[in-house]
C-alpha cells in the first residue's frame, strides 16, 4: 500500500513537470506564430513587393531602393509592431482586470476606457478643443488618453472607498460606457460632415496612423508594467481562488487590486488613444491564454500577452488580405472574424472555470 | 511550545456587535481544539478576527509562533480558477515564499500533503470539476502544505462522507501531534468533537460560554443551552464518548 502510494506520488510530481514543459512549449509556439504573423504582415500591403525584396529590405536596408525602404521601414514595420505592442497591452490589461474583478467579461472596454477615449478623441475632432493646448499636433491621441485616464482614475478612486465591492466597480464601469457613448452621440449629432466621418473612422480602430514613436511608447509601458505584474504572479493567481482564500494565504487583496487597476489603466489608455477602439482583444486574448495554459500567472501572464499580440497581428494581416489593395479598419475585422472564432473556441473547449 | 490565547476579542459588522469579550486560557498546540456553536454564533467571525482579516477590539496572543505561521481555511470552498489541484497546492506553497522555480523538496511537500489527505489521485483534475467533498479535501491540503504552526479551519469536515470525516480528522490529529501546531476547528458534529478533539470552545451569540477539555465543556446542560437539544453523553462499547440526542428541549415553535 505504502509503496504503491509513494510511487503514485512521485508520479504526480513527474506529470507536473511534464505539464510545465508542455506549457513552456505552448508559449514557444505562440511566440513562433507571432513572429510568423509579423513577417507576413510586413510583406503584405497595397503595393505588392516580391518576398525576396522584402527580406532584403529588412535585413540589408542600405542595399534596397529608397521607395521600398520607406514603405517597409516607415509604414509597414511600425504598423506591424504596433499591432504587437497594442495587442499585448490590451490583452494583458484585460487578463489582469478579469483576475482582480473575478469576472470573465471585464476588460478595458467593458469598464468604459475605450468609450471615454472615443469621446476624448471626438472632442478634438468635432470641437477642435485640445485638453492640453501645448500639443496641438497630437491633439486627438492626447485628448483620448486624458479621457481614458480620467475614466480609469474615477474607477480607481471609487475602489479605494471603504466597502466597495467588485460588483460595484463593474457596475460603475458599465455606467461609464453608457454615459460616454451618449456624450459621443451628442457630439456626433452636432458635428460637421467631415468631422463626423473622422470620428466614425477613429472609433472603428485603425493601425494606419502607426509611427515608430507610438511603437516605442507602447513598448516602454509594456516593459514597465509586465515585470510589475510578474513580481505579483503568485498573489494574482491566489486572488482567483477567491478573496477570502487569497487573504488567508497572506495576499493583501485590496492593495493588490488598487495597484493592478492603476497599472491596467496605464496599460490600456495609451494604446486605445493611439489606435481607437479595438475592443475584442482584451477579452479574447486572455481567454485563449486561459484555455491553453490555465491561470497560473507564471504561464498565463506571458501567454495572455503573446496571444493578444498574435491575434491582433493576424487580424492586421487579414485586414490587408480580405480586400486586395485596401486596408480595412482593424477594429471591424477583430469583431467580424474574432467573434465567431471566439464563440467556436469556447463552445468546443468549454471548461467549467468561470 | 506553541500556544494561542484570546484576550477580550470583540468584532462588529457596521453597528451590529457580533463578538464580545471573547477570551480563552492559553490553547495548547499538539492537539485539536474544537470551536462549537449554533449557526450565526460568530465562529467564522472569530476566525476572521484571529486571522487578521477583520479589525476589532482585544488581542490574539501567540507564543512559539508569529502571525506569519498562521493559516486559515475559510468555510466556503468554492473555487473557479482554471488550475489543477496540483497547481493550486503549489500556489498555496509558493505564495508568500516567492520565486518561480520549484525545488525537488517543494514538490515532495506537495506530494506528501496530497497523500496525507487522500487526494493524490486528483492531482491533475481541474478545480471547478471537483465534487464538494473533494474540494474540501483540497482546501485542507492548501492550508497545511506550508506546515503552519497555527491553523484555523472553518468546518473542515462538513462536506465529507463518513469514512473521509474519520480519515481527515485522524490526519489532522497526527499533523497536530507531529508539528505541535495549535489547531482550532469549527465543527458542528459534536460526536466528531468528542472523538477527535482534546479541548473545546463553546460560543453562543458572540460570547464564549465555556472552554477547556472537550468532555467537560460539552455537558448536557451546555448542549441544551446552546442548541436547545436534550442529550446524554455515554460511552460506546469500545469506550468512546458519544452524544445521544433525545430530542428538542422545548419544541421549536416559530
Ligand atoms: N459580512 C458580514 N456582514 C454583516 N454581517 C455578517 C457578515 N458575516 C457574518 N455576519 C453576521 O454575523 C453573525 C455571525 O456570523 P458567522 O458567520 O460568524 O457565524 P457562524 O458561527 O460561522 O455560523 P455558521 O455555523 O452558520 O457558519 C451572523 O448573524 C451573520 O449574519
Ligand atoms: Mg461559519
The pLDDT tens digits for B141-198 are 999 999 999 999 999 999 999 999 999 999 999 999 999 999 999 999 999 999 999 9
CA distance B147 to chain A (A): 13
Say yes or no for a CB contact (<8 Å) between B111 and A250.
no
Q: Residue A266 has what pLDDT?
A: 85
**pLDDT-based confidence at A339, cuts 50/70/90?**
confident
* CB contact B126 to A (< 8 Å): yes
CB pairs under 8 A between A and B: 110
Considering only CB atoms, A294 lies closest to which of B71, B83, B129, namely B83
Cell, residue A129: 478643443
Expressed in angstroms and rounded, the spacing between residue B126 Cα and the centre of ligand 2 is 26
Q: Edge-to-edge strand order for the sheet containing B27-28? A: B27-28, B3-7, B59-63
**pLDDT-based confidence at A3, cuts 50/70/90?**
very low
**pLDDT-based confidence at A144, cuts 50/70/90?**
confident
Contact A147, A114 (CB under 8 A): no
CA B69 to chain centre: 16
Place of cell 504598423: A79
Cβ of B15 less than 6 Å from ligand 1: no
Residues from chain A that touch B101, judged by Cβ atoms under 8 A, are none
Domain boundaries, chain A: 20-349
| Averaged pLDDT for residues A289-296 | 94
CA distance A353 to chain B (A): 5
CA A198 to chain centre: 23
Q: Residue A277 has what pLDDT?
A: 81
* CB contact A247 to B (< 8 Å): yes
Residues from chain B that touch A251, judged by Cβ atoms under 8 A, are 95
The residue ranking higher by pLDDT, A321 or A137, is A321
* CB contact B138 to A (< 8 Å): no
Domain boundaries, chain B: 3-218, 219-254
Q: Dihedral through CA A293, CA A296, CA A298, CA A303, nearest 10?
A: 30
Q: Residue A2 has what pLDDT?
A: 46
- For A293-307, A333-347, B27-41, B72-86, which range has the lowest pLDDT when averaged over its residues? A333-347
Considering only CB atoms, A9 lies closest to which of B80, B95, B114, namely B114
Cβ of B13 less than 6 Å from ligand 1: yes
Q: Residue A20 has what pLDDT?
A: 95
Q: Residue A112 has what pLDDT?
A: 87
Architecture of domain A20-349: Orthogonal Bundle (1.10)
Query: Distance between CA atoms of B200 and A212, rounded to whole angstroms?
Result: 69
- For A78-87, A105-114, B49-58, which range has the lowest pLDDT when averaged over its residues? A105-114
Place of cell 489603466: A265
Considering only CB atoms, B82 lies closest to which of A233, A248, A353, namely A353
* CB contact A194 to B (< 8 Å): no
Kindly give the interhelix angle for A297-321 and A330-348, rounded to the nearest 10 degrees: 130
- For B33-37, B209-213, B247-251, which range has the lowest pLDDT when averaged over its residues? B247-251
Q: Residue A152 has what pLDDT?
A: 83
Closest CA to B179 of B156, B140, B149, B146: B149
Query: Distance between CA atoms of B169 and A173, rounded to whole angstroms?
Result: 46
CA B25 to chain centre: 18
Percentage, residues of chain A above pLDDT 90: 40
Q: Residue A278 has what pLDDT?
A: 81
Nearest CA to ligand 1 atom 8: B45
Cell, residue A245: 482564500
Q: What does the pLDDT look like over B240-254, one tens digit per residue? A: 888 888 888 766 554
Cell, residue A152: 480609469
Architecture of domain B3-218: 3-Layer(aba) Sandwich (3.40)
Q: Residue B254 has what pLDDT?
A: 43
Is the pLDDT score of A5 beyond 50?
no
Query: Distance between CA atoms of B60 and B48, rounded to whole angstroms?
Result: 12
CA distance A152 to chain B (A): 26
Can you give the pTM of this predicted structure? 0.90
Is the pLDDT score of B68 beyond 50?
yes
Contact B35, B201 (CB under 8 A): yes
* CB contact A238 to B (< 8 Å): yes
Percentage, residues of chain A above pLDDT 70: 94
The residue ranking higher by pLDDT, B254 or A37, is A37
Q: What does the pLDDT look like over B103-147, one tens digit per residue? A: 989 999 999 999 999 999 999 999 999 999 999 999 999 999 999
**Which residue out of B20, B41, B184, B208 has the highest number of ligand 1 atoms within 8 Å of its CB and is therefore the one to mutate?**
B41
Q: Residue B252 has what pLDDT?
A: 53
Query: Distance between CA atoms of A307 and A328, rounded to whole angstroms?
Result: 22
State residue A233 phi and psi, 5-degree precision: -55, -50
Distances (CA, A) of A96 to A46, A257, A292: 37, 9, 17
Query: Distance between CA atoms of B248 and A239, rounded to whole angstroms?
Result: 43
Q: Residue A55 has what pLDDT?
A: 82
Helices assigned H by DSSP within B95-229: 104-116, 132-144, 162-179, 190-196, 214-217, 220-227
Strand partners, B202: B36, B210
Those residues whose beta carbon sits under 5 angstroms from the ion ligand 2 are: B 43-44, 75
Place of cell 496605464: A266
Is the pLDDT score of A27 beyond 70?
yes
Q: Tell whether the torsion through CA atoms of A5, A6, A12 and A15 is positive or negative.
A: negative
Say which ligand is closest to the CA of B188.
1
Cell, residue B52: 487578521
Say which ligand is closest to the CA of B49.
1
| Rg from Cα positions in chain A | 22
- For A32-41, A47-56, B13-22, B120-129, which range has the lowest pLDDT when averaged over its residues? A47-56
Cell, residue B35: 470551536
Distances (CA, A) of A23 to A26, A47, B231: 5, 39, 57
| Averaged pLDDT for residues A203-221 | 90
**pLDDT-based confidence at A1, cuts 50/70/90?**
very low
Query: Distance between CA atoms of B204 and A39, rounded to whole angstroms?
Result: 70
Strand partners, B28: B3
Expressed in angstroms and rounded, the spacing between residue B41 Cα and the centre of ligand 1 is 7
Q: Residue A148 has what pLDDT?
A: 87
The residue of chain B nearest to residue A247, with distances taken between CA atoms, is B53
Which ipTM value was assigned to this complex? 0.90
A117-121, A146-150, B134-138: which is most confident: B134-138
Contact B36, B229 (CB under 8 A): no
Using left for φ > 0, alpha for ψ between -120 and 50, and beta otherwise, residue A159 falls in alpha
| Direct distance between the N- and C-terminal alpha carbons of chain B, in angstroms, rounded to an integer | 48
**SS3 annotation, B156-170:** CCCCCCHHHHHHHHH
CA distance A297 to chain B (A): 10
| Rg from Cα positions in chain B | 19
Nearest CA to ligand 1 atom 17: B44
Kindly give the interhelix angle for A113-122 and A166-190, rounded to the nearest 10 degrees: 20
Query: Distance between CA atoms of B116 and B89, rounded to whole angstroms?
Result: 13
Helices assigned H by DSSP within A44-138: 51-59, 66-69, 77-101, 113-122
Q: Following DSSP, what letter does each residue of A218-269 receive, concatenated?
A: HHHHHHHHHHHHHHTHHHHHHHTT-HHHHHHTT--HHHHHHHHHHHHHHHHH
Distances (CA, A) of A47 to A13, A67, A73, A326, A330: 54, 11, 14, 10, 19
* CB contact A294 to B (< 8 Å): yes
Nearest CA to ligand 1 atom 10: B13
Counting every residue written for chain B, the total comes to 254
* CB contact B91 to A (< 8 Å): yes
Contact B26, B87 (CB under 8 A): no
**Mean pLDDT of the residues in chain A:** 87
Amino acid at each position: 500500500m505504502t509503496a504503491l502510494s509513494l510511487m503514485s506520488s512521485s508520479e504526480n510530481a513527474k506529470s507536473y513537470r511534464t505539464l510545465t514543459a508542455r506549457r513552456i512549449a505552448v508559449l514557444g509556439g505562440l511566440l513562433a506564430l507571432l513572429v510568423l504573423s509579423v513577417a507576413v504582415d510586413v510583406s503584405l500591403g497595397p503595393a505588392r513587393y516580391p518576398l525576396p525584396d522584402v527580406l532584403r529590405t529588412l535585413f540589408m536596408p542600405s542595399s534596397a531602393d529608397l521607395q521600398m525602404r520607406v514603405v517597409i521601414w516607415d509604414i509597414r514595420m511600425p504598423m506591424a509592431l504596433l499591432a504587437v505592442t497594442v495587442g499585448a497591452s490590451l490583452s494583458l490589461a484585460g487578463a489582469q482586470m478579469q483576475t482582480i474583478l473575478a469576472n470573465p467579461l471585464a476588460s478595458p472596454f467593458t469598464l468604459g476606457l475605450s468609450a471615454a477615449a472615443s469621446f476624448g478623441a471626438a472632442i478634438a475632432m468635432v470641437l477642435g478643443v485640445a485638453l492640453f493646448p501645448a500639443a496641438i499636433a497630437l491633439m486627438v491621441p492626447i485628448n483620448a488618453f486624458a479621457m481614458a485616464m480620467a475614466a480609469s482614475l474615477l474607477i480607481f478612486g471609487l475602489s479605494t472607498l471603504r466597502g466597495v465591492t467588485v460588483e460595484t466597480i463593474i457596475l460603475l464601469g458599465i455606467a461609464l460606457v453608457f454615459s460616454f457613448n451618449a456624450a459621443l452621440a451628442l457630439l456626433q449629432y452636432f458635428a460637421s460632415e467631415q468631422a463626423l466621418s473622422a470620428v466614425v473612422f477613429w472609433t472603428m480602430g485603425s493601425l494606419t496612423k502607426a509611427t515608430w514613436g507610438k511603437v516605442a511608447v507602447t513598448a516602454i509601458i509594456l516593459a514597465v508594467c509586465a515585470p510589475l505584474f510578474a513580481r505579483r504572479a503568485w498573489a494574482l493567481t491566489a486572488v482567483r481562488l477567491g478573496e477570502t482564500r487569497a487573504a488567508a494565504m497572506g495576499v493583501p487583496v485590496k492593495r493588490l487590486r488598487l495597484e493592478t487597476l492603476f497599472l491596467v489603466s496605464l496599460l490600456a489608455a495609451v494604446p486605445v488613444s493611439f489606435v481607437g477602439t479595438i475592443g475584442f482583444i482584451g477579452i479574447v486574448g486572455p481567454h485563449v491564454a486561459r484555455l491553453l495554459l490555465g491561470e497560473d500567472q507564471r504561464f498565463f501572464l506571458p501567454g495572455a500577452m503573446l496571444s493578444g499580440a498574435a491575434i491582433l497581428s493576424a487580424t492586421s494581416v487579414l485586414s490587408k488580405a480580405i480586400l486586395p489593395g485596401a486596408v480595412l479598419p482593424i477594429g471591424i475585422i477583430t469583431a467580424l472574424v474574432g467573434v465567431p472564432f471566439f464563440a467556436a473556441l469556447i463552445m468546443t473547449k468549454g471548461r467549467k472555470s468561470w | 511550545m506553541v500556544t494561542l490565547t484570546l484576550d477580550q476579542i470583540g468584532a462588529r459588522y457596521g453597528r451590529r456587535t457580533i463578538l464580545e469579550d471573547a477570551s480563552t486560557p492559553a490553547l495548547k498546540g499538539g492537539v485539536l481544539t474544537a470551536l462549537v456553536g449554533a449557526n450565526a454564533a460568530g465562529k467564522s467571525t472569530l476566525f476572521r478576527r484571529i486571522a487578521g482579516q477583520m479589525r476589532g477590539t482585544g488581542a490574539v496572543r501567540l507564543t512559539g509562533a508569529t502571525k506569519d505561521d498562521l493559516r486559515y481555511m475559510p468555510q466556503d470552498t468554492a473555487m473557479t480558477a482554471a488550475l489543477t489541484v496540483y497547481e493550486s497546492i503549489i500556489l498555496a506553497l509558493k505564495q508568500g515564499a516567492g520565486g518561480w522555480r520549484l525545488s525537488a523538496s517543494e514538490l515532495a511537500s506537495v506530494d506528501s500533503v496530497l497523500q496525507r489527505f487522500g487526494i493524490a489521485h486528483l492531482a491533475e483534475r481541474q478545480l471547478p470539476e471537483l465534487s464538494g467533498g473533494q474540494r474540501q479535501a483540497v482546501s485542507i491540503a492548501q492550508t497545511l502544505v506550508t506546515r503552519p504552526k497555527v491553523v484555523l479551519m472553518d468546518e473542515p469536515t462538513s462536506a465529507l462522507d463518513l469514512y473521509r470525516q474519520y480519515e481527515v480528522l485522524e490526519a489532522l490529529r497526527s499533523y497536530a501531534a507531529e508539528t505541535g501546531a495549535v489547531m482550532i476547528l469549527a465543527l458542528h458534529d459534536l460526536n466528531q468533537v468528542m472523538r477527535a478533539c482534546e479541548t473545546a470552545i463553546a460560543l453562543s451569540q458572540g460570547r464564549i460560554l465555556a472552554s477547556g477539555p472537550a468532555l467537560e465543556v460539552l455537558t448536557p446542560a451546555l448542549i441544551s443551552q446552546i442548541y436547545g437539544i436534550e442529550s446524554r453523553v455515554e460511552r460506546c462499547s469500545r469506550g468512546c464518548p458519544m452524544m445521544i440526542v433525545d430530542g428538542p428541549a422545548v419544541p421549536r415553535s416559530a
